[in-house]
């Protein structure tokens, strides 16, 4: 299969789906991450091309760690707009990848870039099959299945973990992919959270610190989803998991199809 994760910033796909992406890649599926912005606002000291170059270099290391392809689109961070031109670019990328599965943000989110990325992917869900739109790239002949990343936002409705994946085998790779984004997890995010003095010095300590920040421990709703897909006995043993919500747009799979789309669930 061809799997496409579309995040708003370089590091979003790793945070929300890195473990699952690595599982797909290990099973021989083609996986690609796309960042809809270049991340040029995500730092308190660096700016402009220096920051873009640094973050792009970080994605190269993260991609190698997870076994995925990676593309960063040249839209300004914090300035993304759901324009026709940007939507057409999303349609083009989905078609070029011949995506079977597309995963992106939910439309209710704190960050404008996350919201508008979601809106454009949702708007593309039907148009990827329309021949007279973005005519330079042939339309898809079968509609992909679209999923959302997990989040904690409650209004207008909370995230629903329709699919939950045991990422125990790839959790370390996910943490290593976050570690690759030094500018974000050890500089920018601690600074904006007022926790710069908490960042450890050594690599091993930093990896342990990341695991504390991103444990991917199943919550109550995710446990219920894990029990559905893996059975209660196995679900009780799962320590690290990622969850996804099925989008109402695009192909609507039944349970047997979802197991085909997520073949690591067994």
- Which band of pLDDT confidence, cut at 50, 70 and 90, is reported for residue 134? very high
Residue range 133-137: mean pLDDT, rounded: 98
Burial of residue 114 (CB within 10 Å: 0-12, 13-18, 19+) is: buried
Round to whole Å and give the CA distance between 17 and 25.
12
pLDDT at 200: 97
Q: Which two tokens stand for residue 82?
A: 């759901």
pLDDT at 227: 98
Domain spans of the chain?
2-261
Residue range 106-134: mean pLDDT, rounded: 97
CA distance readout (Å), 89 to 121, 135, 195, 203: 10, 12, 37, 38
Per CATH, the number for 2-261 is 3.40.50.10320
The per-residue pLDDT for range 35-63, each reduced to its tens digit, is: 999 999 999 999 999 999 999 999 999 99
Flag whether the pTM goes above 0.95.
Answer: yes
- Which band of pLDDT confidence, cut at 50, 70 and 90, is reported for residue 266? very high
Q: Which two tokens stand for residue 86?
A: 């940007």
């Amino acid at each position: 299969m061809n799997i496409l994760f579309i995040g708003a910033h370089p590091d979003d796909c790793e945070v929300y789906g890195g473990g699952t992406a690595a599982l797909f890649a290990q099973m021989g599926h083609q996986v690609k991450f796309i960042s809809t912005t270049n991340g040029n606002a995500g730092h308190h000291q660096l700016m402009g091309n220096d920051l873009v170059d640094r973050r792009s270099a970080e994605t190269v290391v993260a991609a190698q760690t997870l076994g995925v392809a990676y593309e960063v689109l040249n839209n300004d961070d914090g300035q993304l707009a759901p324009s026709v031109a940007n939507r057409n670019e999303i349609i083009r990328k989905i078609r070029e990848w011949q995506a079977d599965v597309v995963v992106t943000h939910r439309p209710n989110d704190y960050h404008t870039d996350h919201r508008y990325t979601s809106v454009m992917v949702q708007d593309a869900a039907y148009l990827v099959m329309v021949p007279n739109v973005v005519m330079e790239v042939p339309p898809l002949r079968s509609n992909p299945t679209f999923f959302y990343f997990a989040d904690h936002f409650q209004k207008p409705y909370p995230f629903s973990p329709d699919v939950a994946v045991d990422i125990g085998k790839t959790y370390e790779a996910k943490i290593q992919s976050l570690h690759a984004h030094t500018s974000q997890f050890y500089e920018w995010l601690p600074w904006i959270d007022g926790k710069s003095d908490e960042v450890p010095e050594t690599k091993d300590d930093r990896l342990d610190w990341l695991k504390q920040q991103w444990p991917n421990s199943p919550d109550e709703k995710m446990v219920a989803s894990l029990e559905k897909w893996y059975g209660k006995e196995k679900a009780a043993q799962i320590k690290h998991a990622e969850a996804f919500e099925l989008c109402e747009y695009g192909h609507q799979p039944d349970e047997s199809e979802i197991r085909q789309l997520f073949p690591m669930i067994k």
